[in-house]
Amino acid sequence: MPGGGPSGYEAGSGVGGVLRAAAASPGGGRLGGVRTALDAGAAPDRARRGAERATLTAAPGPSAVDGSRAGGPASRGAPGGDRRAGEVPAPVTLRAGDALALLSSNALALAQAALAGHETEVLLRATHAVAALSLAAVSGSPEAYAAPVHALRPYPGPARAAAEVRRLLGLPDRPTAPGPLSSDRRIQDPYGFRAFPQVHGAALDASAALRRIVEVEINCPTENPVLTSDGRLHHHGGFFAAPLALALDGLNLALLKTAQLSAARLSALSRPDLTGLPAFLATGPAGSSGTMILEYTANSALAELRSSAAAPASAGHAVLSHGLEEAAGFAGQAARQTARAGTAYATVLACELVVAVRALRLHRAPPAGPVFSLAASALPADPEDRPLTGDIATATELLPRLAEL
């Protein structure tokens, strides 16, 4: 994929590979069904909390993994081979004793982590395109993105972030030396532009770290006891998902940092001293607000993201079973926090995209290239004061397409 990494985590059977217990069922048909359900957002509600472990383990009657009890409301899908492609499958029935094996495999937490991690990867790739448009809108300096600068500090993420912006804007690896300093040229850009490679690069590195851990976990047994290659059963603590939870928490914090710079770039695009354009990009009569409301929207979403990242799930603590289980990894909670953080980040990024495209439309010479062409063709061109809810929705849907460029 140009400019990006693989589209999904590597496993023998994709996201569904986390559910090895399901794969061992008669006929092996559950694996694909559970994967389809997870991709469609039909994750089981009842198994989300470890506190229900005893209930699920000892329950005398069956329950369904779509969150409903057997015999409850009909599933949206069809059973077995009657299911059409992409349709949510019928519920898989959990029987007495099944839940212990399912929970000890970390299957649900791993599935949620894989899905949230993949969705975050897509947003991080889309960020390169959005940040590139904003840099062009403020006529930002390419110096902070120069290859020789990043060769001095060989972190993979920052080097990749800088290279992607150069590629998308058609900038050379080594920018030409600037001429004599003039009164209208800035010596340095604000951090939202100048420190973008470093901050966003840290998020790329955190995402790559999560990918590595998820790929190890979904391809290795964690059940307790575990059957080893010598035919013996061993009781162990391999199910304790501390590496996964810590990687998710790290990604959440890194996502918060790059989201803060996105909101900062959005605000910069509203400043006449940086763009040479009207304040808030307002083109109507006196008193027009232009894109000012999007600062409120972006910062509201940023607050939601902060609430997901400010309290790392790994900081949690629990003592259970008379002290025999005196700690917990909280990977499931961390995965759900990552999913919430990704949703909030998409809103922040969509707001920046709307403002960047409007600013470039007001430029005398908008940049050539597929990024601006795609964004400008999808977003409404009306610059008058009006509700921008539809613009945000369109921009959010556009992000995966920008990630492919």
Per-residue pLDDT for 404 more than 90? yes
What pLDDT does residue 63 have? Answer: 40
Q: How far apart are CA 371 and CA 376, in angstroms?
A: 8
Distance CA 117, CA 121 (A): 6
Q: What is the mean pLDDT of residues 154-173?
A: 96
Phi, psi values for residue 50, rounded to 5°: -60, -20
- pTM score: 0.81
**Mean pLDDT computed over every residue of the chain:** 82
| Residues 252-305 pLDDT 10s | 999 999 999 999 999 999 999 999 999 999 998 888 999 999 999 999 999 999
pLDDT at 375 > cutoff 50:
yes
Q: Which residue, 108, 90, 110, is CA-closest to 98?
A: 108
CA distance 113 to 229: 28
- Beta bridge partners of residue 93, listed in sequence order: 64
Give the span between the Cα atoms of 177 and 173, in whole angstroms.
12
Provide the CA 73 distance to its chain's centre, in angstroms.
Answer: 32
Q: Is 270 helix (H, G, I), strand (E, B) or coil?
A: coil
pLDDT in tens, 323-374: 888 888 899 999 999 999 999 999 999 999 999 999 999 998 888 899 999 9
pLDDT tens-place string over residues 215-263:
999 898 888 888 899 999 999 888 889 999 999 999 999 999 999 999 9
Q: What's the pLDDT tens digit per position in 22-55? A: 433 333 344 455 566 666 665 555 444 443 333 3
pLDDT tens-digit profile of 57-95?
Answer: 333 334 444 433 333 333 344 444 455 655 666 777 778
Domains observed in the chain: 20-104 (no CATH), 107-175+189-403 (1.20.200.10)
For residue range 117-157, list pLDDT tens digits in order.
999 999 999 999 999 999 999 999 999 999 999 999 999 99
* Short-list 337, 113, 335, CA closest to 211: 113
